[in-house]
Amino acid sequence: MKPLIAALLLSLAVPVLAAPHPFEVKDLVMMERVSDQVLSPDGRTIALQLRETDYAANKGRNSIWTVPMAGGKPTRLTDVALNATTPRWSADGKSIYFLASRDDVSQLWRVAAAGGEAEAVGNLSLDIGSYKLSPDGKSVAFSVDLFFDCTPDPAPIACTRKRLDKAADDKASGLLYSEGFVRHWDQWSDGRRSQLLVASLGTDGLLGEPVLLSRGINGDVPSKPFGDDSEYAFSPDGATVYFDVRNVSAGEPWSTNFDIYSVATDGSSEPTNHTADNLAWDASPLPSRDGKTLYYLAMKRPGFEADRFAIMALDLASGGTREIAAGWDRSAGALKESGDGKTLYTATDDRGQHPLFAIDVATGKATQLVGDGQVAGFDVGAKALLIARNDLRRPTDLYSADLRGRNLKQVTRFNASRMKDLRTGEFEFFTFAGAAGANVQGYVVKPVGYKAGRKYPVAFIIHGGPQGAMGNDFHYRWNPQTYAGQGFAVVTVNFHGSTGYGQAFTDAISNDWGGKPLEDLKLGWAAALKKYPFLDADRACALGASYGGYMINWIAGNWNEPWKCLVTHDGVFDTRAMGYETEELWFSEWENGGTVYDNPEAYEKFNPVNHVKDWKVPMLIVQGDKDFRIPTTQGLAAFNAAQRRGIPSELLVFPDENHWVLKPQNSVQWHNTVNDWLKRWTSAGTK
C-alpha cells in the first residue's frame, strides 16, 4: 500500500468532523500521537514515531517520519502497513533504524534518512523487544524473551524457539508454577525472561551472531511491562554495556530491589553488580561522555515504588558514589547529558506541570527550563534541545529551544487541521488549605461554551496512582476536555499522596488511604464551589480509576452526600483481598505497613467493603478483565454490593482490556457509557 493511500484510508476511518464543535471522544482517539523523537548526529533533523488511528481495524498504526529541526514539512519514511516504531539514527546520520514485523516477528530494520525502501537487517526467530545502537554504530544491544533455562545453551534463541514450537503442538495447556509473579499487568508468565544480547552489524549491514550479555541473571532486562532501552546503555567506547534489573532472589512479587550491572560487550565475563549495597531501586544507567562516571537514578527505601528518585554519580575508577542535587525535592526522570558534560537534563512532576530541568553536575543546582504543560520527552543536541510538549488543550508536538530552554519554537503541527475546528474548555489552577493546613492544589476546567452567570453540572475527577497527579497535560484516557465538551465543568484535586509537591507530601498517603486524601477532596470541593460560582453543587458526579476507583468506593460509604452519581473504574473494593490478589505485592504491603497476615488492622482501617451498608448513590462500575493489578473480582464484588443494596448500578466489562482502555472503539464506548451515566443523573444542561 502506498503511503498516501494508507494515510487517506486512515483519515476516512471515521466521519471527519469539519465544522467547529466541542471536543469529544472521537476527536481524542483520532489524534496523531507523536513520540520517541530523536535528533540526528548533526542536530539538524528529527526522526520520530507517529501513531495514527485505524478506527475500522480498532488499533493504532505507527510509522517513522523526519522533520527539519528548523521547522518545515514532515516526511514519512515508512508505510503505515509496516507499523514501524522506535527510530534511532545511525552513527553517520545517513540511516534510521527501527523495529517492525517481518513474518509476524519483530525485527530490526533500516531505511535511508533521505528516503527509500526499508530493509530488515536481521532475521531472528524471536521478537526483538527493544534495542540500542553502540556509539560507533558497529553493534546493537537488544532484548529478546528467552526461557531462562535456555540461557546456558550456546544458542539460546534457537533453544527458546524449539520450546515454543513444542508447546504449541501440546494439547495440554496447564501451566505449573513453583514461585510467585505467575502473572503481571495483563500476561501470565510462561517462563521466559527478557534478556539482553548484543550483535555486530557487518559490512553488509546485517546483524551478526548474537552474544548473551545477561547470562546468569534471572530477571527481565529491560523490566516488564513498561521497560525500554533507557534501562541499558553502551559505554562511550562501546566495550561495556550497563543495565538495570530486579534482584529476583529478593522475592520478585514483593521486591523493588533493582541493581545496576556492567558487562563486557564481547560476553567474556559475568555481569558485575555496582549497587548491591542499595536494597531499593537503582535505575536508568547513563555513562558520561568521557567514560569516567556512571550516572543513574536511585531510591532509598526498599519496597516503595514511589520513593524519590535521586540522581547518583558513580566514579568508575574509584567506585565512590555521590548524590547530585541532594537538596532538590523532586523525583528525577530519565537523564540526558550535555555535550560538555557539565549539565544533566531531566523532566519531572512539579506543582501540576511536568517541566524540563537542567541540573548542574558540579553544584547540583536545578534550573527549570520549560515550564507550563508536560514535557513528554526530549533530546539534547550540541547546540539545541528537542522537546516533546503538550498541555490540557493541545496534544503533543515538537519544539526546539537553546540549551538553556530559551527561544522555544514549535517545530511540528501534526494535529493543526483537527485542532482548528475544536472548541476546548479554559482551565485554571487553584489552591486551598487542605488536611493539616497543607497547601493543596487543584484545577477547574470550564465547559465548552461557558457563559458567565450560568451554572453547570460537574465531573469531579479523582486521580489514580495513588502517587500521581492530575496535571496540565493532554491525556488519552482521562482527558478533562472530553467532559468539558459534553457541557460539564471539571474539578480535580491533587490530594496528599500526589507527586510534584515534595516527597513528604507524596509519602503522606501511605497507611492513610481514606484519611488525609479524603479530607483534601472535601476541602477542595468546598473551595472550588466558593471560588467558582458556575459549579452546580446539586448536579455533580465523582469518578476515578485505580486508586481513584478505590476512593469512589470509599466515598460511597463515607462521603456520598454531594454526589448524584459515581463512576469507579478498576477500583479497589476490598483492600484485604487486594493484598493477596494483586500481582505487585510490594505495593499493597508498603501502603499498608506490612503483609495482610502481619498487619490486618491496617488493611481494614480504610476498607470500602466495611461500609457498603451506607452506600446509596447510583454507581457505574467499569472493569478490564485482563487487569491483573486490580483483578476483576474487585469490580464484580462492587457491582454485586450495589445490586444487593438495591442501588441503581451498571457494570461495563471489557474482556480484552487491562488496567487501561486502549483500543479506539473501546475508548469510544467507555466515554459514551460514562457520559450517558453522568447525564442521566445530573440532567446535564445549563441553568
Residues 60 and 24: their CA atoms lie apart, in Å, by 19
pLDDT bracket for residue 13 (50, 70, 90)? very low
Helix (H, G, I), strand (E, B) or coil at 671: helix
Average pLDDT rounded to a whole number, residues 324-343: 98
Q: What is the pLDDT of residue 687?
A: 53
| Residue located via cell numbers 461495563 | 652
**Does pLDDT of 601 surpass 60?**
yes
- With b for 16 or more beta-carbon neighbours within 10 A and e for fewer, the 471-498 pattern comes to bbbbbeebbbbbbbbbbbbbbbbbbbbb
The active-site residue, picked from 95, 214, 235, 546, is: 546
**Does pLDDT of 55 surpass 60?**
yes
Give the side-chain half-sphere CA count within 13 A for 209: 6
Residues 445 and 180: their CA atoms lie apart, in Å, by 44
Average pLDDT rounded to a whole number, residues 561-581: 98
**Does pLDDT of 173 surpass 80?**
yes
Contact 243, 217 (CB under 8 A): no
What's the pTM?
0.95
From residue 215, alpha-carbon distances to 197, 211, 238, 412, 441 in Å are: 9, 9, 19, 43, 48
Output the nine-digit C-alpha cell for 580: 493477596
Closest CA to 684 of 541, 493, 552, 561: 541
Average pLDDT rounded to a whole number, residues 623-646: 98
Q: Which residues contact 28 (CB under 8 A, 6 or more apart)?
A: 476, 479, 481, 482, 667, 671
Average pLDDT rounded to a whole number, residues 333-346: 98
The active-site residue, picked from 463, 627, 649, 671, is: 627
Residues 557 and 561: their CA atoms lie apart, in Å, by 10
**pLDDT over 90 percentage in the chain:** 95
- Specify the amino acid at residue 333: G
Helix (H) or strand (E) segment spanning residue 282: strand 282-287
Q: What is the pLDDT of residue 18?
A: 56
Report pLDDT digits (tens) over 76-126: 999 999 999 999 999 999 999 999 999 999 999 999 999 999 999 999 999
Output the nine-digit C-alpha cell for 460: 469531579
Report pLDDT digits (tens) over 481-519: 999 999 999 999 999 999 999 999 999 999 999 999 999
Q: What is the pLDDT of residue 278?
A: 98
**Is the N-terminal amide bond of 222 cis, ω within 30° of 0?**
yes
Strand partners, 133: 140
Give the side-chain half-sphere CA count within 13 A for 232: 35
Q: What is the pLDDT of residue 11?
A: 41
Residues 184 and 166: their CA atoms lie apart, in Å, by 24
The widest CA-to-CA distance across the chain, in whole angstroms, is 75
Q: What is the pLDDT of residue 456?
A: 98
Q: What is the pLDDT of residue 19?
A: 82
Report pLDDT digits (tens) over 275-305: 999 999 999 999 999 999 999 999 999 999 9
Average pLDDT rounded to a whole number, residues 219-235: 97
pLDDT bracket for residue 319 (50, 70, 90)? very high
Report pLDDT digits (tens) over 127-149: 999 999 999 999 999 999 999 99
Q: List % helix, strand, coil for the chain (3-state, nearest 5).
A: 20, 35, 45
Write down the mean pLDDT value for the chain. Answer: 95
- Please write down the HEC assignment for all residues of 221-277: CCCCCCCCHHHEEECCCCCEEEEEEECHHHCHHHCCCEEEEEEECCCCCCCEECCCC
pLDDT bracket for residue 253 (50, 70, 90)? very high
Q: What is the pLDDT of residue 16?
A: 47
Average pLDDT rounded to a whole number, residues 210-239: 97
Q: What is the pLDDT of residue 404?
A: 95
Domains and CATH numbers, the chain: 422-682 (3.40.50.1820)
Report pLDDT digits (tens) over 363-421: 999 999 998 999 999 999 999 999 999 999 999 999 999 999 999 999 999 999 999 99
Element counts in the chain: helices (H) and strands (E): 13, 40
pLDDT bracket for residue 250 (50, 70, 90)? confident
220 is catalytic: no
**Does pLDDT of 4 surpass 60?**
no
**Does pLDDT of 321 surpass 60?**
yes
627 is catalytic: yes
Average pLDDT rounded to a whole number, residues 551-577: 98
**Does pLDDT of 596 surpass 90?**
yes
**Does pLDDT of 180 surpass 80?**
yes
* Distance in Å from the first CA to the final CA of the chain: 53
